[in-house]
Structure 1
Amino acid sequence: MMRGRVAFSGAIHEAYPHERGVRLADGRICGEGEVVWLAPIEPGTIFALGLNYAEHAKELQFTSQDEPLVFLKGPGTVIGHRGATRRPSGVSFMHYECELAVVIGRAARHVRREDAMQYVAGFTIANDYAIRDYLENYYRPNLRVKNRDGATVLGPWFVDAADIADVSNLQLRTYVNGTLRQQGNTRDMVTDIPALIEYLSGFMSLAPGDVILTGTPDGVINVEAGDEVVCEIDGLGRLVNTLASDAQFNRN
């Protein structure tokens, strides 16, 4: 089942896909543009993977690591479908990252790889923006690259794990202003989902609502204020986001 979270008429509602937009839990039908989209789940700890697709690592002229490259993201980074992400003035290279987001469903500690998928509640789409100008070290992304307010877009839908037949074979696509710019497949992850859960739970506890952003394929390009970026993943829907300038955010 696909379900999301939206704000409408002064309240937060669970929402479901409908041919005319979205159906609220109380039965009302709204156009997609009539609601404010929130992240489809309230995320706990957000784990992000770097260089988890070999071709993307090659694209950035770095080799993959022996262990997963994992860093944490704060809650202020997250916005929902159709939200706007600030592109600071004066930066030369800011790019999207279409990623499969894995949502943990129950407490996990010392989980074996073969049992790992039992701890997954479901999946959503993430677009995790990065500003390469601020990168000090590709293996230790600093805060200004990956922890900017509103730079991690989640949604529009949360999809139960049981509804995805083969999460290891999902196609990812990113369009910028309607042009296909990025595509890949989850089968090309360097470290797959069971291995990531085994790795993380081996030294820390995972909790319901924790989110693992599993990395992005190659094909990233610079985006500018005014651009519309659409990320698609098979079975999970279509996540839309726009870039906005400093002036639109009333910032210098």
Structure 2
Amino acid sequence: MKLYEVAERFAVWLVAVIVLSLLLIPIVVIVLTSLTPNSFPTIPRDGISFQWYGEMLSNAGLMRALVTSFVVAAVAAVLAGIIGTVTAFGFVRSDIPYREELATFMLLPLMISPVITGLALIQFAARFELSSGYPSLILGHTILTLPYVFLIVRSRLVTFDEELEAASRILGANGLETVFNVTLPIISPTVISAMVIAFVVSFGEFTATQFLISPDTTTVPVIIYTMLRAGLSPEISALSTVLIAIMVIGAVISGALSR
């Protein structure tokens, strides 16, 4: 191997290590400070303690926020999965005019600031007398996560081998039977992966969510922000670590399903 090739490979690895370090060090610090035995978030030096996880579990407000986030994220992921998959089928399998232009509109929740989306949703909810809390949160999170499902499923359908569907029709199946017996079983890992990503995005959504919550339906990101206004605490680090773990698990599941 020539010297310049060695130098090039070393430079690539060095940049990769630096970038990964910048991404991971803040997360590692949060995890470590959640294990401190002190009453303020510091990196433990004289042993670790899980007392702040116990404090978190005994905090009724935090547990209620976790349940709210799970319920909202799960329902929003399912709704976004169904709507996004059906919409992706419509865009890929039909010859609607201005298809690409309309697809761009499907991505507006990704391009518009979440603050604007939150304001629009709260005005929509007020106009149609939709109560705050679960109804508004589920509607808002479904809209915010729908583009992710649409993009992922659409990309899978674009590369789908349509000869398999043609063979199904030749053997006597109609269009609906072909979709349910051939297409959906093949793309189901992609659909589930997209729903997992939607769940993760919903679980960590903060900016638009703060406009949609009610006193009894506060989500984890919002309650973390509320607690931060009173000062840093190892309990916040413990709750943040739980949030990180949920997102990492979701990312791993999504990656495994994609492969």
**Hey, which of these two has a bigger chunk of helix by percent?**
2
Larger Rg: 2
- TM-score, with length taken from structure 2: 0.23
Structure with the larger RCO, 1 or 2 (CA within 8 Å, 6+ apart): 2
Q: Could you tell me the TM-score, scaled by structure 1's length?
A: 0.24
